[in-house]
Amino acid sequence: LKTLNPYDLFDVRSLLSEEERAVQDSVARFTDERVLPIIGDCFDQGRFPTELIGEIADMGLLGSSLPEQYGGAGLNSVSYGLICQELERGDSGIRSFVSVQSSLCMYPIYAYGSEEQRMRWLPDMSRGKVIGCFGLTEAHGGSDPASMKTRAVKDGGDWVINGSKMWITNGSVADIAIVWANTDEGVQGFVIEKGTPGFTAQEIKHKMSLRASVTGALFFDNVRVPDANRLPNVKGLKGPLGCLTQARYGITWGPLGAAIACLDEVLAYTKERILFGRPVAATQSAQIKMADMARRITAGQLLVLQLGRLKDAGQMQPQQVSLAKWNNCRLAIDIARECRDLLGGAGITTEHGAIRHALNLESVITYEGTETVHQLVIGRELTGINAF
Ligand code: TGC
Ligand code: FAD
């Protein structure tokens, strides 16, 4: 019998192209060498490791799917998924940083912006010289972005924006904010630069989750931006929701990385931990738990690979992304919590990764559409009835 790779029982890697494998390997190396040695401390200190931004950019991970003329790496969607998976094996906060920059900030400028806007921002964003954030959620109800109160009013050649956004990744460190606001012609996107009078950002403190990521609130008090900062090629909620489809796609892959990190940790720990005269790994209940983790990871891997192939073929539907985001966030948070349990008391400090991943995944299962939102998307697909 051939011994199987415990983190890839169905040899999903054999279905990858040479280029996809090379991308996975280089990001895996980055996570092993640069992220894992520092991330526990970053989480403890509530600090995003800004010192890694340059390397992340040099590896081509910012806007990796965009064409090279805009600073992108022209990689396919499966490669983007693998990037997210390997980064989140390190920490959800690192993957979040790349998701937001690539899918929520560079993507809308690329997809909805003018050629001038693309050239103005994208190359610098791919180099990590300009950091973006994406402001859709408002404090009164993130699941229902149609209830948005932030408003932009035309005034001559300018727009005047009033309102606020809440829970914004990179909010207080970003150089530009992609802000979605209601206008007389429906929801539109604006690029608001740091330092614009009336625009302020405040870091949200006391987080117990995604502590190695910056989260902020944005405030707009008569913020005036020229029409050149409005994204001209989309109107309506489909603008921001289209960005969410891109980011959610990455998040279907990312949590698999967190789950694999946790399984890796308990496989090693339970072999070393001797209780009642034998390793914990030699007990049936521990084996059943770990086997069940591997089963869920394997199913999740096959799900996202097919999703990625559909995306690369231009056939992926947002409802399929909802199913995969729900499935893989759920399996990852359950696995992280079960691994924390198998580590016993040792599982409660950041010495081991399980509790950090479990806490991070509380955000990941909530942002980009809560689990309930994605369940209701599938419910609507099955029944044809909107139950939101
Ligand atoms: P509805 O009002 O019917 O549709 C509006 C228009 O949008 C189109 N559409 C989509 N387009 C692309 N992708 C999608 N996923 C889309 N979903 C809808 C739709 O066809 C329609 O177009 P048109 O041309 O007819 O106007 O909207 P709905 O009923 O489908 O949506 C309801 C619901 C609840 C699913 C939606 O509001 C929703 O997804 N709510 C959750 C909000 C959310 O996920 N927020 C995330 C904020 S960003 C974030 O969390 C970043 S964290 C990142 C990190 O740190 O990694
Ligand atoms: P609510 O929408 O108030 O939901 C509360 C509860 O009600 C949830 O359990 C939800 O599932 C449930 N619920 C909602 N609708 C229904 C229904 N119809 N039936 C039954 N139950 C329902 N947003 C951005 O725009 N940009 C960002 O960069 C960003 N980064 C984030 C980073 C972090 C760390 C976090 C935690 C959030 C971030 N968000 C961001 C916001 C995130 O998208 C929202 O938190 C999320 O969409 C949920 O919105 P809410 O927090 O207002 O919860």
Q: What is the pLDDT of residues 156-202, one digit of tens each?
A: 999 999 999 999 999 999 999 999 999 999 999 999 999 999 999 99
Q: Is residue 386 very low, low, confident or very high in pLDDT (cuts 50, 70, 90)?
A: very high
Mean pLDDT for 304-326 is: 98
For residue 135, give the ligand 2 atom closest to its CA: 25
Model pLDDT, residue 312: 98
- Name all residues whose Cβ lies below 6 A of ligand 2: 100, 133-137, 141-143, 167-169, 210, 215, 363, 366-368, 370, 372-373, 388
pLDDT tens per residue across span 199-229 = 999 999 999 999 999 999 999 999 999 999 9
Confidence of residue 22 (pLDDT cuts 50, 70, 90): very high
For residue range 50-67, list pLDDT tens digits in order.
999 999 999 999 999 999
Number of Cβ within a 10 Å radius of residue 147 = 11
Residues 6+ apart with CB under 8 A from 169: 96, 97, 100, 133, 134, 213, 214, 215, 367
Single-letter amino acid, residue 100: V
Residue 16 DSSP code: S
Is this structure's pTM higher than 0.80?
yes
Average pLDDT, the chain: 98
Q: Minimal CA–CA distance to 125: which of 145, 103, 143, 144? A: 103
**Catalytic annotation, residues:** 368
Q: Can you give the pLDDT at residue 95?
A: 98
Exposed/middle/buried for residue 175 (C-beta within 10 Å: 0-12, 13-18, 19+) = middle
By most ligand atoms within 8 Å of CB, the mutation choice from 241, 248, 321, 375 for ligand 1 is 241
Q: In this predicted model, what pLDDT tens digit does every residue of 233-275 receive, in sequence order?
A: 999 999 999 999 999 999 999 999 999 999 999 999 999 999 9
Q: Which two tokens stand for residue 150?
A: 């932030």
In one-letter notation, the amino acid at residue 42 is: C
Q: Could you give the 3-state DSSP secondary structure of residue 277?
A: coil
pLDDT at 151: 98
CA of 326 from ligand 2 middle (Å) equals 14
Residue 242's pLDDT is 98
Beta-bridge partner residues of 151: 162, 182
Are the beta carbons of 283 and 359 closer than 8 angstroms? no
Instruction: Kindly give the interhelix angle for 92-99 and 354-364, rounded to the nearest 10 degrees.
Output: 30
Residue 217, strand partner residues = 202
The Cα–Cα gap between 334 and 269 comes to: 18
Ligand lying closest to the C-alpha of residue 97: 1
Q: How many angstroms separate the CA atoms of 364 and 19, rounded?
A: 28
Cα gap 85→155, rounded to integer Å: 45
For a pLDDT cut of 70, what percent of the chain falls above it?
Answer: 100
* C-beta of 377 in contact with ligand 1 (< 6 A): yes
pLDDT on residue 278 = 98
Rounded to whole angstroms, the Cα distance separating 234 from 95 reads 27
CA pair distance 388, 386, nearest whole angstrom: 6
pLDDT in tens, 108-133: 999 999 999 999 999 999 999 999 99
